A and B are shown apart, each in its own frame.
Chain A
Amino acid sequence: MIKLQSVGIWGTGSYLPEKIMTNKDFESMIETSDEWIVTRTGIRERRIAKPEEAVSDLAYVAGQRALEAAGVHPEELDLIIVGSCTFDAYLPASACLVADKLGAKRAAAFDLETACTSFIYGCAVGSQFIATGTYRRVLVIGAEVLSKFMDYSDRNTCVLFGDGAGAAVLGPVEEGAGIKAVHLGADGSGGKDLGVPAGGSRLPATAETLEQRQHYVKMNGKEVYKFAVRIMGDAAEKALEIADWEKEDIDFFIPHQANMRIIDSAAKKLGIGMERVAVNLDRYGNMSAASIPVALDEMVRSGQIQPGHRLIMVGFGAGLTWGSMAVEWAISKG
């Protein structure tokens, strides 16, 4: 068997749009209340991108900050992966636009879409190139402008999501550190439960699809909730098993930020105290692919995450898809 290079995270970055939309702001638009939203979801406010801002704009800033933190020049990048489900357009790939904005002239670039799991999938894919020695520096970004896909007359979805971007530069690290386990999964039988029905080859855009509001995110909340509660704990345990860690070994648990009650339930199942669980959905809502990398960046920049710390990250989302990752925060670049 060939010897694989250990891969870790060299640096992180994030970007949140300035505009804040509070629960209160929805009260004049739809039948809802701050109290209802907080008790059902834990969300208090979310960020909203400017009308002229698209995913590549948010991704670019987060990516640039991650490069600075990692001490990597854009021209040193070998690959850029942008994970999202709200790309600038169907064509071209947002990752190409980000590469251009960054001046990453040498880098290959592609988009990856596994909804809220895109950052985990992106890290899983990007790390393979480094492990095999094909590449040395890979930028993985999770970015979303979900506000432009919200039906602001549907109270079951529009209060849940927010805009933002988070990024990580992956590179070789000292042997035995970095990404210790990756677990990915998908189940298309649940594809009907969460998605944007029209605008693709199944239901191309027509005057009718527009009128029926089929270009917005639709969700069967109950089914997705059931799936999420089940998969969050299962996927975390799978990563622990592959990494050969015990639950007690976890320093920080960074779950996808969809609903506080899903996070509570997973933390309980894993026996982790909430002081070791990343929570940002109260401030940002569900940012899909951006939730995990933004949480990670905040914890790195605040100094919470230190070399040697063991992290478990778990994502789940439309597809249905899920993924988990065990990372031992590395001390040095390899």
Chain B
Amino acid sequence: MSSIFEKVKAIVVEQLGVDEEEVNMETSFEDLNADSLDIVELVMALEEEFDIEIPDEDAEKIKTVGAAVDYIKENQ
């Protein structure tokens, strides 16, 4: 079973069209040139993959790949 990080990385690569090497725990979505609509779609993809609901106020705080992984760990 792949780790949460691996799954999040795969979604980020797919949604933002970036290379795998660019994505690590410290990477911020801003660094990957994600705009507000990219973030909305990214959050939707994470919700679907991990079967969770991420309220807007929480979503706004998730600014890095690591923050997404931590949030998923805490809320799964």
Contacts and interface: CB of A to CB of B under 8 A. Distances in A.
Contact of B44 (A40, A229, A259): A229
Interface residues of B, number: 7
Given A40-B35, A222-B56, 11 more contacts: A40-B36, A40-B37, A225-B37, A226-B40, A226-B44, A229-B40, A229-B41, A229-B44, A230-B44, A259-B37, A261-B41
Among B37, B40, B41, B44, the most chain A Cβ lie within 10 Å of the Cβ of B37
B40 A225 contact: yes
Interface string A254-273: 00000101000100000000
A39 interface: yes
A222 B44 contact: no
Contacts of B40: 222, 225-226, 229
A226 B53 CA distance: 13
Contacts of A226: 40, 44
A261 B35 CA distance: 12
- Nearest first, the 4 closest Cβ-Cβ pairs linking A and B are A225-B40, A261-B37, A222-B40, A226-B40
A221 to B, nearest CB: 9
Nearest to A268: B14
Contacts of B35: 39-40
A334 B7 CA distance: 54
B27 to A, nearest CB: 21
